[in-house]
Structure 1
Amino acid sequence: MSPGCCAHGGFTLLETLVALSIIAVALVAALRAMGSTAGAASHLREHTIASWIAENRLAELRARQEWPAIGQRRGHGEMAGRRYTWSETVSGTANPLFRRVDIEVRAADEARTLGRLSGFAVRPLR
């Protein structure tokens, strides 16, 4: 067999480097996408729990049939093994039988608001 009759097997160094570069770029993009998804899932979990804390506070007002005084109050709640701080602002409405209740929830160790809820308290009839 003469040396010129058969093509040599394998890849050149340049072809190998180009293929490795393409794989590296694809892996970096995949890792960024996974990190972004994990961050979004964590944020969604925190927002959902904060919404539950706010809904629980409003449900507590309604279940006790309290007529909340106009003003601001703060309190704490715990859910999913973490402590949250809520603050509610009660204001009057055009109808004297209703009061608006705005609730904001934050993680106890953070300043940013994780969830908000607005609802109404109804004056109990006697």
Structure 2
Amino acid sequence: MNRPGSSAPRRSTGFTLVEVLVALAVVALALGALIRTTGQAADTQYEAEQRTLALWVASNRLAELSLAAGLEAGRSSGRTRMGGRDWRWQTDISAAPGGELWRIDVTVAGTALGEGRNATVAVHTGYLPR
């Protein structure tokens, strides 16, 4: 035990340089993983939003066709604005097996994340009576 007046060397309290560097390395690794996870979560959220809006566009198109009189087999296309974005849709109407229903495939395309071209975001199929 050291007394206040003794000449024995005192051990200083605190962290050594090596301990501080190891702690900083651990914190840097943890922050890097956190930043990567946050970026992936943002991308996933954006893709889910894209798919949801595209399915709403397709559902709206099917609802419009259900109100239309005299559907005929064929292909049509158009544009819709929803959620602050422009969407292109293509509708393929064909006879369903059995001949009592129309099969309607609605393909919705929007601008892909980070790309300038339109990419298919969703394909939705519905059936309506003939």
Tell me which interval the TM-score lies in, with the shorter structure as reference length.
0.7 to 0.9
| 1:2 aligned residue | 7
Aligned equivalent of 1:59, options 56, 63, 75? 63
State how 1:70-89 maps to structure 2 within 5 Å: 70-89=73-92
What is the RMSD of the two structures over their aligned residues, measured on CA atoms? 1.5
Aligned equivalent of 2:24, options 14, 20, 23? 20
Bigger Rg, which one: 2
Identity of aligned residues (%): 33
Amino acid at match of 1:33: T
Q: For each residue in 1:29-65, what CA deviation from the matched residue of structure 2 results, as whole angstroms up to 9, or x when unmatched?
A: 000000000000000001000000000000111123x
Q: Is contact 1:67–1:121 with CA below 8 Å preserved after alignment?
A: no
Task: Give 1:8 shift.
Answer: 1.2
Runs of 4+ in 1 over 6 A off after TM superposition: none
Q: For each residue in 1:95-120, what CA deviation from the matched residue of structure 2 results, as whole angstroms up to 9, or x when unmatched?
A: 33311000110116633211111001
| 2:33 aligned residue | 29
Aligned equivalent of 1:115, options 119, 122, 125? 122
Unmatched runs of 5 consecutive residues or more in structure 1 = none
TM-score (normalised: structure 1): 0.88
